[in-house]
């Protein structure tokens, strides 16, 4: 199955999500946050660096919970910027 290429907007949204997660993680380690979210550190690394710009909803929800973020805050910070 061939995956449809991401749009520039999707890539940008993934970059905003990665920045938000890095900021919220602060000094805590990737390993600690990933374990608390039930993910691998490599998955978190890919999301934070934009290599996985469109993670599944449940992945985002688990990370938000582990970082003490509400899904409303994640949406507000990662939603497309109006033109």
Separation between Cα atoms, residue 3 and residue 25, nearest integer Å = 30
Instruction: Please state, as a whole number, how many other Cβ atoms lie within 10 Å of the Cβ of residue 12.
Output: 16
Query: Which parts of 1-83 are beta strand (E)?
Result: none
Q: Give residue limits of the domains in the chain.
A: 8-78
Question: What confidence tier does 83 reach under pLDDT thresholds 50, 70, 90?
Answer: low
What pLDDT is recorded for position 80? 75
CATH topology of domain 8-78: 434 Repressor (Amino-terminal Domain) (1.10.260)
**Token pair 């985002």 in the structure block, residue:** 60
Burial of 48 (0-12, 13-18, 19+ CB in 10 A): buried
On the question of pLDDT at 72 being above 70, the answer is yes
What pLDDT is recorded for position 23? 96
Instruction: Please state, as a whole number, how many other Cβ atoms lie within 10 Å of the Cβ of residue 30.
Output: 18
What does the block give as tokens for 79? 């939603």
């Amino acid at each position: 199955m061939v995956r449809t290429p991401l749009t520039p907007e999707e890539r940008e949204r993934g970059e905003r999500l990665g920045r938000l997660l890095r900021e919220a993680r602060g000094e805590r380690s990737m390993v600690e946050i990933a374990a608390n979210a039930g993910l691998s550190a490599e998955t978190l690394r890919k999301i934070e660096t934009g290599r996985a710009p469109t993670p599944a909803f449940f992945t985002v929800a688990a990370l938000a919970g582990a970082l003490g973020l509400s899904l409303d805050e994640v949406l507000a910070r990662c939603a497309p910027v109006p033109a």
